Amino acid sequence: MDDVITALTKGIAVYETLRTYNGKPFALKEHYERLKKSLSYLKIEPPAFEDFEKLVYENLSERMRIVYVYSKSLLEYVFQEDTEEFKVEYVKVDITTVRRADPWSIPPDLKSLGRPDIYLARLTKGDNYDVIMLGTKGQVCEGTFSNVFLIKNGKFITPSLESGILDGITRMYVIRFLKESGYEVEERFVEPAELFYADEVFLTHTSRGIVPVNQIGTLKTKSVELSSKLSKAFEEYVKCLL
């Protein structure tokens, strides 16, 4: 109990959300590496990979959130995530007025619970699936729990890591999947206007893979056709990797 009180008053919590397919966790190593990165910013010794793996396998569920709270020692908690809200074909998003924190203040890959930029942006979500945050220079960054892609003239474009985004694990696998499927993928700074002129826009995140976007603010996107097809194909791609 002492540990929990110290954690609540002085501690910080980092987390990873994992997805399992047919009883197998996807991208376990990548999630572990990202957890290690989060903990490294806080100068906290990470758990051994074997302990992380054991924790995951002992608590396996379709979508799970592993939380590490630091007080005098590292406390671990596992939560089952609700899967219902993700059962959608396409979604509406908006651009939030809350900006992603300057990476020089808070590293974008410090995945902590209650991160103020993410938390405040989520408060502006309304009935949107997610809201897209811009960076300090006005560049497109990402959603509060998702990365952003757009399709223009057959080419895929996504904000580069230098834009100040979380190194999304789904983003990384989607880029690989698209390249292996013969598509061109550009990682670079993206202007907000590009989202509105895009042929298609989609989000990526662990719990749902590729999520087509059919509306940004009050404007409908041109199409969700290719992203819907890719969303299904990506599910199969992931299953084949396991």
Our CB check for ligand PLP shows the closer of 147 and 221 to be: 147
* Sequence letter at residue 195: L
**CB of residue 205 vs ligand PLP: minimum separation in angstroms?**
4
Our CB check for ligand PLP shows the closer of 96 and 206 to be: 206
**CB of residue 99 vs ligand PLP: minimum separation in angstroms?**
13
DSSP letter string, 61-100: -SEEEEEEEESSSEEEEEEEPP-GGG--SSEEEEE-SSPP
**CB of residue 153 vs ligand PLP: minimum separation in angstroms?**
26
Our CB check for ligand PLP shows the closer of 128 and 146 to be: 146
**Orientation of helix 28-41 relative to helix 49-58, angle to 10°:** 120
Q: Which residues bind ligand PLP (CB under 6 A)?
A: 17, 118, 142, 144-147, 166, 168-171, 204-206
Q: For residues 168 and 191, is the Cβ–Cβ distance under 8 A? A: no
**Orientation of helix 169-180 relative to helix 28-41, angle to 10°:** 140
**CB of residue 134 vs ligand PLP: minimum separation in angstroms?**
13
Our CB check for ligand PLP shows the closer of 36 and 222 to be: 36
User: Residue 51: CA atoms inside 13 Å, Cβ hemisphere, count?
Assistant: 11
